Structure 1
Amino acid sequence: MSLDISVIVPLKNEEESLPELAAWIDRVMQANNYSYEVWMIDDGSTDDSWEVITKLAAGNNHIKGIRFQRNYGKSAALNEGFRAAKGDVIITMDADLQDSPDEIPELYNLIMRDGYDLISGWKKKRYDPIMKTIPSKFFNGVTAKMSGIKLHDFNCGLKSYRRKVVKSIEVYGEMHRYIPVIAKWAGFRKIGEKVVEHRARKYGVTKFGLERFINGFLDLASIMFVGKFGKRPMHFFGAMGFVFFFLGFVISFYLAFAKIVNLQYNMTDRPIFYLALLFMIIGSQLFLTGFIAELVTRNSADRNSYLVEERLEIKA
């Protein structure tokens, strides 16, 4: 049975905040008469988070839980939540009470009333340490520039989605921060932003680590490549290979012509001769990489898997 809203809460070691968060979400849902479910995804907690989730679920049948055997990361938790969600609108939020459930009604309305596919929260005023806010601004600027999506805060945990969006995408690695980019490449173009309240952390400590930015930029490169060339890798590697091979060929032709004009001319004494060889070798390797990638793609089980918006058949 379809519900109005599914709330997905990925968490690790948040036992203190969970009862308050669950009660707050329930108050908002009851006040707005929404049918709902809350999926709490325990990402390998080492405290009593799972025991708290179990008690909350026993007292409120809207609350459901998934427990990972070990820590897999936020992307994995969100992906499992997306697979389990039954709501028409899926809302994600962090478990640390820095995201306010009072934002839920407007996030729901922007999807159902205004027709957005995805709404990303923008924590315009933040209560995070400077070691997190400065790199985050740089990361968001680079991502917006590369993806063409005009958002201020890609990594905000508070987002809302049309159900079709979360059922059409897969999130892994550190790619949860790039869900708007993944959604865009999947064909969902109506992506918006809403300024949301960001609250100071009430319990525990942040799980933030600087290594996330290194992994994040690598994942962005992966998404941009797979989204554009995933089904036609030869177009990328072949073009790059042609450029390098052509440069090497032109240099080699110039050196050969110089040798014909002047027989005393020694090609191998010129550093540019070895640069030409290097360019031609790199070009050949890129071509071969493209061919191998094409073979892998053509033998992939989902090589002809496409998202179909509508199908019209007129029967005679």
Structure 2
Amino acid sequence: MNLSIVIPLLNEEESLKELHQWIVKVMTQHSYSYEVIFIDDGSTDDSWPIIQQLGSIDPNVKGIKFFKNYGKSQALHAGFARAQGDVIITMDADLQDSPEEIPGLYSMVTTGGLDLVSGWKKKRYDSILSKNMPSKLFNWAARKTSGVKLHDFNCGLKAYKQKVVKNIEVSGEMHRYIPVLAKNAGFAKIGEKVVIHQARKYGTTKFGMERFINGFLDLITIWFLSRFGKRPMHLFGALGVLMFLIGLSSAVYIGINKLYKLYMHERAILITDNPWFYIALATMIIGTQLFLAGFLGEIILRTKNNEERYKVSETL
């Protein structure tokens, strides 16, 4: 099979039939063998009945329905697990991603030798203040932090080799950082393609300003996980030892200074009256706690079990 098209969605009943027709048209024009996997992330409208209807008339349509809204990352994880195509395309269901871009993305992966191709919505139809400016700031920070030189991490239109999606773990809200996850997993051939961004035709956006705040927090998380996720003791242990040594050195200095003044018969204040005593004590306690945090992190890392991150209600 050439292509698996993975489409996570939430309350997109108005756009699904039109999107399906558009995808079928493009697939037919290019004679691709394909499957379309819709993941209903807890919709409360008629999205799932429409997916079932599409599946009854088109054997290429597959579907996964969650019991409730678990998030886009969990939807993509389920779609990736189900996908069988040599190349996996992800796109949103709101018609803002054009299926006409699929052949170009597919070609860049199959003939261009890339592991992953990310879309770049260079010209956007979103509000400048509410989305464009925060998005530019977010993408700049993501480039600087991750080292992955992409202009648009948030673009849902991406293409992957099958081995990429089968060897990365998309959880939490990490769907924005799949290229970073891929790079950390050893898939370094990452490119981008300028794609058309269309104005939303139906409904309203499911994302607000909070997604950028969450995005920056997730960026810190993925920076930490990429550098210290497999070795938390290297961060917490090093910081703990450093702080403990600083505290210990301060305590030793205070003690030696006290003994020197006694030896010289000079007036010396009580050690407990010296503010540096409490600074040294607090620093040693914090250092010990950081060291223990790293130690516990290593234990948890080695004993953790894979948790079920979502529950599937129905499949098609």
Fold match, TM over 0.5? yes
| Number of the residue aligned with 1:312 | none
Paired AA for residue 106 in structure 1: G
| Number of the residue aligned with 2:312 | none
Paired AA for residue 230 in structure 1: G
| Number of the residue aligned with 2:113 | 115
Unpaired segments ≥5 residues, structure 1: 303-316
CA shift, 1:190, in A, is 0.8
TM-score between both structures, scaled by the size of structure 1: 0.91
Change (3 A) 1:244 1:44: same
| Distance in 2 separating the partners of 1:144 and 1:279 | 35
| Distance in 1 separating the partners of 2:268 and 2:178 | 58
CA shift, 1:234, in A, is 1.3
| Number of the residue aligned with 1:161 | 160
| Number of the residue aligned with 1:290 | 294
Deviation per CA, 1:143-176, whole angstroms, max 9, x where unpaired? 1111111111111100000100100011111110
Aligned pairs for 1:72-87 within 5 A = 72-87=70-85
Paired AA for residue 261 in structure 1: Y
| Number of the residue aligned with 1:181 | 180
Aligned pairs for 1:100-139 within 5 A = 100-129=98-127, 130-139=129-138
CA shift, 1:283, in A, is 0.7
CA shift, 1:220, in A, is 2.3
| Contact 1:174–1:212 (Cα < 8 Å) also in 2 | no
Is 2:248 aligned against 1:244? no
Paired AA for residue 183 in structure 2: K
Question: Pick from 268, 277, 280: which aligns with 1:276?
Answer: 280
CA shift, 1:273, in A, is 2.5
Q: What SS class does the counterpart of residue 38 from structure 1 fall into?
A: strand
Q: What SS class does the counterpart of residue 27 from structure 1 fall into?
A: helix
| Distance in 2 separating the partners of 1:131 and 1:262 | 65
| Number of the residue aligned with 1:215 | 214
| Number of the residue aligned with 2:259 | 260
| Contact 1:185–1:228 (Cα < 8 Å) also in 2 | no
| Contact 1:41–1:66 (Cα < 8 Å) also in 2 | yes
| Contact 1:123–1:156 (Cα < 8 Å) also in 2 | yes
Question: Pick from 2, 5, 8: which aligns with 1:7?
Answer: 5
Paired AA for residue 87 in structure 2: V
CA shift, 1:277, in A, is 1.4
Q: What SS class does the counterpart of residue 87 from structure 1 fall into?
A: coil
Q: Which moved more, 1:22-31 or 1:211-220?
A: 211-220
Is 2:52 aligned against 1:57? no
Paired AA for residue 295 in structure 1: I
Deviation per CA, 1:194-218, whole angstroms, max 9, x where unpaired? 1111000011001112222333233
Paired AA for residue 228 in structure 1: R
Q: Which moved more, 1:227-236 or 1:60-69?
A: 227-236
Deviation per CA, 1:112-142, whole angstroms, max 9, x where unpaired? 1111111111111111123122221111111
Q: What SS class does the counterpart of residue 189 from structure 1 fall into?
A: coil
Aligned Cα root-mean-square deviation (Å): 1.5
| Number of the residue aligned with 1:313 | none
Q: Percent identity?
A: 61
TM-score between both structures, scaled by the size of structure 2: 0.91
| Number of the residue aligned with 2:42 | 44
Q: Which moved more, 1:272-281 or 1:122-131?
A: 272-281
- How many residue pairs get aligned? The number is 300
Question: Pick from 5, 18, 21: which aligns with 1:20?
Answer: 18
